[in-house]
């Protein structure tokens, strides 16, 4: 194992303990995050997917949140409804009652019996288990922040004793800063992908340095951005590095060997086999 991978593993152990994990239960190494609950296996961001990911032994549930018209925090990836549900229009134009009347589709477009979960439901499901949460706060269809969503998210996490077992993350720096200002004790992180960095005329190293100055403890990177050098940069900055969304088995093997701290995948079953769980 390279020096960077050893450093990353040590950092992962430290944050695992800080997030309430049982580090002594197994050797330190790459942690497994079920992306949207396991989007290639079950309807994404559904309670069915999250239950199955928990049963599978994932370390993290990864998911996304938006606000409904009446201010409820709901678990769904897109700001619009067409791709993953039987509805149409935007999430923020519908009340929770409206959203609950819809049904989720599977990855082939088949309608299922699953409803859009609330954050309250998901956190209540996860709280009795030992796993942690990777919670992404989204923006609306106009790329605008939801006013007050950070406070609502923190309140729900606190009510279930989960704020210490959750990494709150976002692509928007304003959201990351807002969480840091509200709750410096909560682990927060930034998300980056190649197009976004190019548009911002930034670099991975520059963003890692910025997160360190901000007091963040997590960085989530698209897999095209992750190299051995980046793994070492993140570890030296004191950041837990998550790589997304890795579904190819050979790519999984490569990132595990590099010592990436969190492997975020739609195929938690395949990743579990590689991690010899």
> What is the pTM (predicted TM-score) of this model?
0.92
Catalytic residue among 66, 77, 160, 222: 77
111 forms bridges with which residues in the sheet? Answer: 105
Count of C-beta atoms within a 10 Å radius of residue 253: 12
For residue 146, what is the DSSP state?
A: P
- 166-194 average pLDDT score: 98
Domain presence at residue 95: no
Closest Cα partner for 63 from 73, 75, 52? 75
Residue-range definition of the domain harbouring residue 181: 3-63+131-274
Domain presence at residue 172: yes
Q: What's the pLDDT score for residue 19?
A: 72
For residue 60, what is the DSSP state?
A: E
264 forms bridges with which residues in the sheet? Answer: 33
- 71-90 average pLDDT score: 98
Whether 243 has a pLDDT exceeding 90, the answer reads: yes
Domain count, the chain: 1
109-148 pLDDT, tens digit each: 999 999 999 999 999 999 999 999 999 999 999 999 999 9
- 160-174 average pLDDT score: 98
Domain presence at residue 121: no
Domain presence at residue 85: no
Q: What's the pLDDT score for residue 276?
A: 83
Q: What's the pLDDT score for residue 171?
A: 98
Is 160 designated active site? no
Domain presence at residue 74: no
Domain presence at residue 157: yes
Domain presence at residue 56: yes
6-44 pLDDT, tens digit each: 555 555 555 655 576 533 333 369 999 999 999 999 999
Closest Cα partner for 191 from 235, 128, 138? 138
Q: Is the dihedral of CA 82, 84, 90, 96 positive or negative?
A: positive
Domain presence at residue 78: no
Catalytic residue among 35, 66, 160, 222: 35
Exposure string of 75-114, with b = 16+ CB inside 10 Å and e = fewer, is bbbbbbbeebbebeebbbebebebbbebbbbbeeeeeeeb
- 251-259 average pLDDT score: 97
| Burial class (CB within 10 angstroms; exposed 0-12, middle 13-18, buried 19+) of 25 | exposed
CATH of the domain at 237: 3.20.20.190
Q: How confident is the model at residue 1 (pLDDT cuts 50, 70, 90)?
A: low
Q: What's the pLDDT score for residue 23?
A: 31
Q: What's the pLDDT score for residue 25?
A: 33
Whether 98 has a pLDDT exceeding 60, the answer reads: yes
| Pairing verdict, β 187-192 and 31-35 | unpaired
């Amino acid at each position: 194992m390279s020096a960077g991978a050893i450093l990353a593993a040590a950092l992962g152990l430290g944050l695992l303990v800080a997030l309430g994990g049982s580090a002594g239960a197994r050797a330190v190494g790459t942690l497994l995050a079920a992306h949207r609950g396991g989007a290639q296996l079950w309807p994404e961001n559904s309670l069915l997917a999250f239950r199955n990911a928990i049963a599978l032994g994932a370390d993290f549930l990864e998911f996304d949140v938006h606000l409904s018209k009446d201010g409820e925090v709901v678990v769904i990836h897109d700001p619009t409804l067409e791709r993953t549900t039987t509805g149409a229009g935007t999430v923020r134009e519908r009340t929770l009652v409206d959203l609950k009347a819809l049904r989720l589709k599977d990855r082939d477009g088949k309608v299922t019996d699953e409803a859009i979960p609330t954050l309250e439901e998901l956190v209540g499901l996860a709280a009795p288990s030992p796993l942690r949460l990777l919670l992404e706060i989204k923006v609306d269809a106009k790329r605008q922040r939801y006013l007050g969503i950070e406070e609502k998210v923190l309140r729900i996490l606190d009510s279930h004793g989960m704020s210490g077992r959750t990494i709150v993350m976002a692509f928007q720096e304003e959201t990351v800063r807002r969480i840091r200002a509200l709750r410096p004790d909560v682990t927060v992180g930034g998300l980056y992908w190649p197009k976004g960095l190019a548009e911002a005329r930034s670099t991975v190293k520059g963003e890692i340095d910025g997160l360190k100055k901000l007091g963040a403890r997590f960085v989530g990177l698209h897999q095209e951005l992750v190299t051995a050098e980046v793994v070492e940069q993140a570890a030296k900055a004191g950041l837990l590095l998550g790589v997304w969304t890795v579904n190819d088995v050979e790519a999984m093997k490569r990132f595990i060997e590099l010592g990436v701290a969190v492997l975020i995948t739609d195929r938690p079953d395949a990743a579990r086999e590689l991690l010899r769980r």
